[in-house]
Amino acid sequence: MASPIAKNEKFMTGLKLVILFVIIMIAAFATNAAVIIGINVYYHAAIQDSQQAAIAIAAALGNIWVTFAILLLQNAAFIFVSWLFLTKVDKIKFSWKEFGLDIRRETPKQILSGLGFNLFLTIPLFGILLLIGAVSFEAFGITSFSLTAIALSFVLMAIGTLAIGFGEEILFRGYVQNMLTKKYGILWALPIASIFFVAVHVLPKFITGSVEPLYFLSIFPIALILGYLFYATKSLWASVAFHAFEDFIVLALVAFGKPAAGTAPLVMLSAPIDIVTSGVKLGNWGDAVGLTIGAALFIAMVSYFSNAYLLNKKSSGDSRSRI
């Protein structure tokens, strides 16, 4: 039976996660609202005619610079919140090493491993969806966008998705998972931090009534992969690379259906076919295939890193096993 002290510690950890969750959602909402309010104030001040101002505002909200600004501000807020909890709540002296972002000799290799593991997810995903007819090729970006628009989209989304990689990985893996691992070990920390990650991504859709079960489920193995990369490499660089590259592909390289606001992707595919049962939309084939491949990749990664660890220990004469 757990002691009262242990129970109190678990309660305080749970309370801290709840408070952190609320602050994250407020930060995400506030950064989006700040940009939107700023655009409204500017155009209403610059254009006296309210109807013309409304048209200008609608056009501005679909501009890639607005998308870029929101990505930078939101993820800067995530990094600030991580720093705030680390230094003010946990009373730990700040260093990038606390988030797993110290520079080592292995850092370039870890970045490349994150990019490489991502290809094991994205290439089969696109291939299977095209093979089963769940999506279809529609056009190359050059037929719909100018070279200038494509180049601008490429550069801004490269920076923006790098911001996502750092912002979200510092928050969810560098702070949340790391904090939980120190307290309860990786077997508890990995699933809890992954559920926390999913909850933050799903809540906005849940509020708008657009969340679908397969979408919710498809995010979970990705969160596990990102968390396990952090654990296995003892560094955040692989997770940052995996995450940033994943978002860069879907924002700057390939669009499923309508491109994200202001972006000019290189390839446009149709939106994945929906999966509907008894009149209820469960998600789409992109979610279903992504869930399957993500789960398979996570299992393969655990096997790969575990075998590599055991071989390394065997060669060094250490027979201790790893969890």
Let me know if residue 81 belongs to a domain.
no
Let me know if residue 72 belongs to a domain.
no
Q: Are 80 and 159 in contact (CB under 8 A)?
A: no
Q: How many CB atoms lie within 10 A of CB 181?
A: 20
Number of domains in the chain: 1
Residue 189: partners with Cβ closer than 8 Å, 6 or more residues away: 177, 178, 180, 181, 183, 227
pTM beyond 0.75: the answer is yes
How does pLDDT run across 29-73, given as a tens digit for each residue?
A: 999 999 999 998 888 888 888 888 888 888 888 889 999 999 999
Let me know if residue 20 belongs to a domain.
no
Please state, in angstroms and rounded to a whole number, the distance separating the CA atoms of residues 43 and 139: 34
| CA-closest candidate to residue 293, choices 285, 303, 304, 283 | 285
Q: Are 289 and 128 in contact (CB under 8 A)?
A: yes
Q: In the predicted model, is pLDDT for residue 296 greater than 70?
A: yes
Percent residues over pLDDT 70 in the chain: 93
How does pLDDT run across 227-284, given as a tens digit for each residue?
A: 999 999 999 999 999 999 999 999 999 999 888 878 999 999 999 999 998 888 899 9
What DSSP line would sit under 258-278, residue for residue? SPSTT---SEEEPPPPEEEET
Let me know if residue 246 belongs to a domain.
yes
Let me know if residue 209 belongs to a domain.
yes
Q: In the predicted model, is pLDDT for residue 317 greater than 70?
A: no
Provide the residue count of the chain.
323
Please state, in angstroms and rounded to a whole number, the distance separating the CA atoms of residues 120 and 253: 17
Residue 176: domain span: 92-315
Place of tokens 């998308």: 67
Let me know if residue 213 belongs to a domain.
yes
Strand partners of residue 137:
269
Let me know if residue 160 belongs to a domain.
yes
Let me know if residue 147 belongs to a domain.
yes
Name the E strands within the chain. Answer: 137-140, 254-256, 267-269, 274-277, 280-284
Q: Are 165 and 74 in contact (CB under 8 A)?
A: no
